[in-house]
Structure 1
Amino acid sequence: MRFASLGSGSAGNGLIIEHSATRLLLDCGFGLRDAIKRIARLSLEPDTIDGILVTHEHDDHTHGVFKLANKYRIPVWLTHGTYASSQKFLPKQQDFKLHIIDSHQAFSIGDLHVQPYPVPHDAREPVQYIFENGSHKLGVLTDAGISTPHIEAMLSGSDALILECNHDLEMLRKGPYVHSLKQRVGGRLGHLDNDSAARLLQVLDNRKLQHIVAAHLSEKNNQPALVSAALSQSLNCEEHWIGIAQQAEGFDWREIK
């Protein structure tokens, strides 16, 4: 199994996961042309994507989902709440299949086993996902205000983790956001801060962990160095081992062996 990012942050998110003959896209928060360019950067063609999974309806995750799906006839999986809240993005002439999923019910797409799980975020019915191929497990958590015992159970034992580190608490407090936005971002339905992500890591079973990539960093309220310091302390590893997903470049292919 391998995975790579099209970009990560408030301006757009997208993650490619593939195993054997199956290639999936998790979210697409980029315009159609931009998404195609970002997919090409990974030496891929959009028509080779077998499915698009959606976490929630916010623009930075769904902006390009339905345009890409419609142009290349790629099926889409999403919760009923996300579907109901994404009507503005749906094309009038729909040329792709929509699959409504249960936020607790696992399913398979080709060679990949997919487990959605609910998360606390200010969206209609948000989920995150676990991807497995029978031997390895990739856990993804972004866009969650707090951790929960269920989140910990889902992510524990992963071979690779993509973990939100949206903001540094002090930078958010002193930063340029208006008070209401600071409360939203830092609230229980907002985004994980560096310290909360580090505490989450401490309670997981990380014995098989090969990759850790911090994602969804705020450009105004965080710095990669702060993220690396916080997560490396939790994992007792060198700071350079902590991967950082960038907004412009995402990150290149990482393989789980």
Structure 2
Amino acid sequence: MSMRCCVLGSGSRGNCTLVESGGTRLLIDGGFSGREIARRLELIGHSVDRLTAILVTHEHNDHISGVGVLSRRCSLPVWANGPTHRASSSRMKKLFCRREFATGERFTINGLEIHPFAVSHDTVDPVGFVISDGHHTLGYCTDTGRITRLISHHLSRCQGLILEANHDPQMLMDGPYPMPLKQRVRSSQGHLANGEAGSFLRQICQASLRQVILAHLSETNNEPRLALETIQNSLGDLEHGLVLTVSTQDRPTPLITI
């Protein structure tokens, strides 16, 4: 059995990730239209008809805009914690099946163990996920303004990791955002800067971590080349043996085997 993942697209205009193992195929978030998610799945040889469920991290529109229509059209259960379900119900509307988890408590979907953990973002109860098939473990952590001990604890055991590298601080401060938005992005409930992501990766980089996908890059306040160079500089010689991939807003990454 192998575990594979693909970031179908990530950024302020939409976020959606596919994780598959042993015939179970999960979407983490659905921040594009249902039609666009279907199109991007087809680009990597998959179909919405083969999906098993949708996991939701938080209620911002760039993470849930296509969740409701996909749930209804493809008869997919939608898993989120109670506060997130309530905060997003008016936009997701009626779901095929509403499933609820408690942040911090493991649950299973078709043999995949999923552990939702708290992150720091300006929403009601935002989470990241650790997903395991018993042989491979993938961490998903975007939309957090800081790395907590809890986040570090959960992600340090992963072989694969999807991690936010949202912005370059200087580009953010020199850029066109109004000051309140700049302050929000840089706050402890905002988004991780490239250097913060790099420092965290250096802390947890070990023999078990093999694949890292950098996600949720700002199109205004970051550049893929800059994010990658900053991470590589942070890792130094620890980068050896680690495969770094940068996701983009407009197209899927390759399917990556964990």
TM-score interval, normalised by the smaller of the two chains: over 0.9
1:58 to 57, 60, 63: 60
- Once the two structures are TM-superposed, the CA of residue 205 in structure 1 deviates from its matched residue by 4.6
Match of 2:214 in 1: 214
- Once the two structures are TM-superposed, the CA of residue 113 in structure 1 deviates from its matched residue by 0.9
> For each residue in 1:45-68, what CA deviation from the matched residue of structure 2 results, as whole angstroms up to 9, or x when unmatched?
112111000000000000001110
Which consecutive residues of structure 2, in runs of 5 or more, have no partner in the other structure?
none
- Once the two structures are TM-superposed, the CA of residue 201 in structure 1 deviates from its matched residue by 1.1
**Partner amino acid, structure 1, of 2:7:** S
> For each residue in 1:197-221, what CA deviation from the matched residue of structure 2 results, as whole angstroms up to 9, or x when unmatched?
1111122152211111110000010
On the 8 A contact 1:19/1:111 being kept in 2, the answer is no
1:191 and 2:210 matched = no
On the 8 A contact 1:157/1:205 being kept in 2, the answer is no
After TM superposition, the structure 1 stretch with the greater mean CA deviation from structure 2, 227-236 or 44-53, is 227-236
Match of 1:17 in 2: 19
Match of 2:73 in 1: 71
Percentage identity across aligned positions?
38
On the 8 A contact 1:21/1:111 being kept in 2, the answer is no
Give, in whole Å, the separation in 1 of the partners of 2:149 and 2:136. 22
Match of 2:172 in 1: 172
Match of 2:202 in 1: 202
Aligned length: 254
Give, in whole Å, the separation in 1 of the partners of 2:80 and 2:202. 30
- Once the two structures are TM-superposed, the CA of residue 40 in structure 1 deviates from its matched residue by 1.3
TM-score, normalization by structure 1 = 0.95
Give, in whole Å, the separation in 1 of the partners of 2:167 and 2:76. 34
Match of 2:247 in 1: 245
Moved over 3 A (4+): none
Give, in whole Å, the separation in 2 of the partners of 1:198 and 1:98. 36
After TM superposition, the structure 1 stretch with the greater mean CA deviation from structure 2, 215-224 or 197-206, is 197-206
> For each residue in 1:133-155, what CA deviation from the matched residue of structure 2 results, as whole angstroms up to 9, or x when unmatched?
11111111100000100000010
1:80 and 2:76 matched = no
Secondary structure at the residue paired with 2:255? Answer: strand
Which consecutive residues of structure 1, in runs of 5 or more, have no partner in the other structure?
none
Give, in whole Å, the separation in 1 of the partners of 2:137 and 2:75. 28
- Once the two structures are TM-superposed, the CA of residue 88 in structure 1 deviates from its matched residue by 2.0
TM-score, normalization by structure 2 = 0.95
Secondary structure at the residue paired with 1:163? Answer: strand
- Once the two structures are TM-superposed, the CA of residue 232 in structure 1 deviates from its matched residue by 1.5
Match of 1:145 in 2: 145
**Partner amino acid, structure 1, of 2:97:** K
